[in-house]
Amino acid sequence: MNKNEPLAFRMRPKTLEEYVGQEHVLGKDKILYRTIKADRLSSIILFGPPGCGKTSLARVISETTKYKFYKINAVTAGVADIKRVIEETKNFMLNPSGKSILFIDEIHRFNKLQQDALLPYVENGTIILIGATTENPYFEVNKALISRSMVIKLEPLTEENIYQILKNAIKRPDGLGEYNIKIEDETLKKLASIANGDVRTALNGLEVAVLTTAMDENGFINITDEIIKNSVQERKAVFDKNGDSHYDNISAFIKSMRGSDPDATIFYLARALNGGEDPMFLARRIVICASEDVGMANPNALVVANSAMQAVHMIGMPEARILLAEAAVYVATSKKSNASYMAINKALEDVQTKDTGEIPMHIRNAPIEKMKELGYSEGYLYPHNFPGHYVEQQYLPDKMLGTKYYNYE
């Protein structure tokens, strides 16, 4: 054991029995558990947030498989590294089985050329690929690789999972077992909560707390809530404004406004702002929602949202958060109607796909007198000349008569 290695590295499991969490794919009756135990693994893509156990699972596989195991990181590796692995795999003297497992961390960092270099060897079984990514692989990984792999989504670890790992870290000799640590269970649970599903954050925080706290006169290291708070600083936000969570969060924000839930709306707004989202991007989403989802049920929502967007542009953060909150809540609590949205979509579909006929002559423009002689504007009835400022006349082309786009309900 190298004590210079971070605690999070030292605590990585070596066997499936030591692995904590992800019971939905690693329960004893689950296919992934059985294939790892039987060493019958096929190519898989693991995706999930940081600290959920992707690399740890790869390490477990490396300890249990009979095949040669290679690990590369897509940030620093390239096609040459892939070719080296292939050559060694095919070398009977180095690898009699003629097959190996290649773990590629952050596989989404590989470009199309690099991913394509893997394809023939994954397809013929020379390489069993294990790819790990924090991004949605259906967006970031070559479709051909996806089709040849089992895609497995790992969830953020629960607070109970992280609490269990922290307890193990305090006891294990390869963890912090050599230190006389005093820490209340409630304090450990608070640390597990702060980590927000990322066990690496929790273990790093615990290690910092232990290594920076002096022993008392009895030789104990007393870890308090305050020490933990200072060691981790703030609750880790699971949000990447350039990643998959960006799209998930903005989708939840918009759907919460549309669904008239102001509390959820404010929650996802706060999550976006805390993650560094552009306030103007959020303001534009509110304007769109005001028109698309509130519409004619409360036309003033568009006025409020647009005013907020202009004010956000002029004022900026941190005060812009107040403007965004006000506009988002106004939209969320307004009555809803998508009648205008549905109307323009249906009309666009008609003009793009149908013969809609000609504009009636009596409502065409006639800026020149001679055009009137040709029938332009002839017979037009000016509504304001009639009681109630309304008069019955044809506006739609003959071929579109009777078509309804706007639903007044």
Q: What is the pLDDT of residues 126-154, one digit of tens each?
A: 899 999 998 888 888 888 889 888 899 98
Judgement on whether residues 137 and 174 belong to the same structural domain of the protein: no
Q: Is 35 exposed, middle or buried (0-12, 13-18, 19+ CB in 10 A)?
A: middle
Judgement on whether residues 32 and 138 belong to the same structural domain of the protein: yes
**Chosen domain end from 196, 212, 232:** 232
pLDDT: is 81 or 330 the higher one?
Answer: 330
Which pLDDT band, with edges at 50, 70 and 90, does 409 fall under? Answer: low
| Average pLDDT for 369-376 | 77
Question: Residues 182-228: pLDDT tens digits?
Answer: 999 999 998 988 888 888 889 999 999 998 888 888 888 999 988 88
Judgement on whether residues 68 and 142 belong to the same structural domain of the protein: yes
User: What DSSP state is assigned to residue 155?
Assistant: P
Domain presence at residue 347: no
Judgement on whether residues 143 and 47 belong to the same structural domain of the protein: yes
Judgement on whether residues 148 and 169 belong to the same structural domain of the protein: no
Question: Residues 263-293: pLDDT tens digits?
Answer: 999 999 998 998 888 899 999 999 999 999 9
pTM above 0.85, yes or no: no
Token digits of residue 69: 């195991």
Domain presence at residue 12: no
Domain presence at residue 199: yes
Judgement on whether residues 296 and 255 belong to the same structural domain of the protein: yes
pLDDT value of residue 260: 95
The CATH number that applies at residue 140 is 3.40.50.300
Judgement on whether residues 110 and 43 belong to the same structural domain of the protein: yes
Which pLDDT band, with edges at 50, 70 and 90, does 93 fall under? Answer: confident
The CATH number that applies at residue 298 is 1.20.272.10
**Chosen domain end from 105, 135, 153:** 153
- Amino acid 130 reads I
- Amino acid 219 reads G
Q: Which residues have a Cβ under 8 Å from the Cβ of 297 and sit 6 or more positions away?
A: 334, 335, 336, 337
Domain presence at residue 9: no
Q: HSE of 401 in the Cβ direction (CA atoms, 13 Å)?
A: 5
Domain presence at residue 62: yes
Backbone angles phi, psi at 334, to 5 degrees: -75, 150
Query: What are the C-alpha distances in Å from 175 to residues 30, 210, 391?
Result: 30, 11, 85
Is residue 367 pLDDT above 80, yes or no?
no
pLDDT value of residue 91: 86
Domain that holds residue 221: 159-232
Nearest Cα to Cα of residue 154 among 15, 45, 33, 250: 45
Domain presence at residue 52: yes
Which pLDDT band, with edges at 50, 70 and 90, does 41 fall under? Answer: confident
Q: Is 242 helix (H, G, I), strand (E, B) or coil?
A: coil
Judgement on whether residues 248 and 199 belong to the same structural domain of the protein: no
Judgement on whether residues 35 and 139 belong to the same structural domain of the protein: yes
Give one DSSP letter per residue of 127-145, joined into a string: EEEEEEESS-HHHHS-HHH
Judgement on whether residues 167 and 145 belong to the same structural domain of the protein: no
User: What DSSP state is assigned to residue 102?
Assistant: E
The CATH number that applies at residue 187 is 1.10.8.60
Judgement on whether residues 221 and 192 belong to the same structural domain of the protein: yes
pLDDT value of residue 239: 57
Token digits of residue 273: 């702002």
**Chosen domain end from 94, 128, 153:** 153
pLDDT: is 244 or 110 the higher one?
Answer: 110
pLDDT: is 152 or 247 the higher one?
Answer: 152
pLDDT: is 255 or 378 the higher one?
Answer: 255
Q: What is the mean pLDDT of the chain?
A: 88
Q: Is 87 exposed, middle or buried (0-12, 13-18, 19+ CB in 10 A)?
A: exposed
**Can you tell me the distance from the alpha carbon of 333 to that of 11, in angstroms, rounded to the nearest whole number?**
48
Judgement on whether residues 42 and 125 belong to the same structural domain of the protein: yes
Domain count within the chain: 4
| Average pLDDT for 345-362 | 91
Residues in the chain: 409
Domain presence at residue 107: yes
Domain presence at residue 2: no
pLDDT value of residue 320: 92
Is residue 310 pLDDT above 90, yes or no?
yes
